[in-house]
Amino acid sequence: MSSFTKFELSSTNNQALDLLQHLCANDLDVPVGHIVHTGMLNERGGYENDCSVVRVSKNSFFIVSPTDQQVHCWAWIKKHMPNDPHLHLEDVSWKYTALNLIGPRAMDVLTELSYVSMTPDHFPSMFCKEMSVGYANGIRVMSMTHTGEPGFMLYVPIEYALHVYNELMSVGQKYGIRNAGYYALRSLRIEKFFAFWGQDLDAFTTPLECGREFRVKFDTDTDFLGRAALLQQRHDGVFRRFVMLILEDHDTELDLWPWWGEPVYRNDQLAGTTTSSAYSYTLERHICLGFVSPPPSPEGLPTAITPDFINRGDYEVDIAGQRYPAKAKLYPFSSLFTQQKRRKDDMELSNLQGK
């Protein structure tokens, strides 16, 4: 994930915090070291940027956004920055190599290399520490992943990147470490119901439409971009909703795979389209993400969507003219499948260590 956009926003006083509080839907006034997932919204409440922000110090923030948002995010922040010589924005994308250490043994590997406890009690989730790994220092280690698995993201100064990578692979051999590419991470996020900007999210999608209302600071008096539009939408209701569609009666060996843009039918009526899809290694079937909407009222007006509308419908996904039944869900799928998969992985790891 080295290609991801990385900015540092700093100031002498509270200017950096004030700017981010105005731009971001989530609350950035958090203790130093905390990570906040948030969106930068426009006046309509749509996502101009989807990012993770770390409060590095009282007046300094580290902003991480998807790769294709580098120019757009820079322009959006600059557009709203006051002309203040004490407020500074720097693009530091080139300064850091980003390595992901993901999986149930990630904590063991990093503990050996950092010589400090990486347990949740000492390094809680959604927290960032600057620490040494191997013989390299100044590494920003974040206890978060984009796959839903336990693990860490390491933002490594580029001069130490090869050393840190070699150390991780060396220590990780006894734990069964494997290389995985960025697109593997992109596919794993599907079964965890993680939306991706530019594919699932755009400037016309609001947090309320994709189940992210909990990332909006409605309970504060902070006036942020898009607040009025979101309050109005919360009052009127949401007319479409982001859902997970788990394909059934679909043979991954013989049937065509979904890509994105497939029509979604509910009770034999067109209800929406998919926005992304991937094969789920946990469920051993394909999963699609997308938006569905109820039919308009008799007067032709949009109808507010409800959980009952989603949960009580019979869904189908049309792949190249062939419809496949699907189960719609509003939340990530978690069941016996996950437990069985973990037990299987543990057994395979035990066999590997025995050899």
Whole-model pTM?
Answer: 0.87
Residue % of the chain over a pLDDT of 70: 94
CATH classification at residue 40 = 3.30.1360.120
Domain check: are 63 and 127 in the same one? yes
Q: Is residue 223 part of a domain?
A: no
Q: Residues 191-224: pLDDT tens digits?
A: 888 888 888 999 999 999 998 999 999 998 889 9
Domain check: are 31 and 165 in the same one? yes
Please count the other Cβ atoms lying within 10 Å of the Cβ belonging to residue 48.
23
Domain check: are 131 and 69 in the same one? yes
Range of the domain at 293: 239-329
Q: Is residue 159 part of a domain?
A: yes
Domain check: are 125 and 17 in the same one? yes
Q: Is the pLDDT of residue 291 over 90?
A: yes
Q: Given pLDDT bands bounded at 50, 70 and 90, which one contains residue 309?
A: very high
Q: Given pLDDT bands bounded at 50, 70 and 90, which one contains residue 344?
A: low
Q: Is the pLDDT of residue 355 over 50?
A: no
Domain check: are 161 and 271 in the same one? no
Most confident of 121-125, 170-174, 181-185: 170-174
Mean pLDDT value across residues 1-7: 91
Domain check: are 184 and 262 in the same one? no
Q: Is the pLDDT of residue 113 over 60?
A: yes
Single residue among 190, 221, 247 that ends a domain in this structure: 190
pLDDT of residue 335: 45
Domain check: are 43 and 142 in the same one? yes
Domain check: are 1 and 135 in the same one? yes
Question: Structural domain tally of the chain?
Answer: 2
Q: Is residue 304 part of a domain?
A: yes
Domain check: are 7 and 93 in the same one? yes
Name residue, tokens 């922000």: 53
Q: Is residue 49 part of a domain?
A: yes
Round the average pLDDT of the chain to a whole number and report it: 90
Domain check: are 150 and 51 in the same one? yes
Q: Is the pLDDT of residue 347 over 70?
A: no
Q: Is residue 99 part of a domain?
A: yes
Domain check: are 63 and 142 in the same one? yes
Single residue among 158, 190, 222 that ends a domain in this structure: 190
pLDDT of residue 67: 86
Q: Is the pLDDT of residue 36 over 70?
A: yes
Task: Kindly list the distances between the CA atom of residue 327 and the CA atoms of 239, 244, 266, 270, in Å, as whole numbers in the listed order.
Answer: 20, 8, 10, 16
Q: Is residue 350 part of a domain?
A: no
Per residue, what are the HEC states of the chain? CCCCEEEEEEECCCHHHHHHHHHECCCCCCCCCEEEEEEEECCCCCEEEEEEEEEEECCEEEEEECHHHHHHHHHHHHHHCCCCCCEEEEECHHHEEEEEEECCCHHHHHHHHHCCCCCCCCCCCCEEEEEEECCEEEEEEECCCCCCCCEEEEEEEHHHHHHHHHHHHHHHHHHCCCCCCHHHHHHHHHHCCCCCECCCECCCCCCCCCCCHHHCCCCCCCCCCCHHHHHHHHHHCCCCEEEEEEECCCCCCCCCCCCCCCEEEECCEEEEEEEEEEEECCCCEEEEEEEECCCCCCCCCCCCCCHHHHHCCCEEEEECCEEEEEEEECCCCCCHHHHHHHHHHHHHHHHHHHC
Mean pLDDT value across residues 246-254: 92
pLDDT of residue 282: 84
Q: Is residue 86 part of a domain?
A: yes
Q: Residues 45-104: pLDDT tens digits?
A: 999 999 999 999 999 999 999 888 889 999 999 999 999 999 999 999 999 999 999 999
pLDDT of residue 352: 47
Q: Is the pLDDT of residue 270 over 90?
A: yes
CATH classification at residue 298 = 2.40.30.110
Q: Is residue 171 part of a domain?
A: yes
pLDDT of residue 69: 86
Domain check: are 280 and 163 in the same one? no
Q: Given pLDDT bands bounded at 50, 70 and 90, which one contains residue 336?
A: very low
pLDDT of residue 354: 52
Beta-bridge mates of residue 39:
50
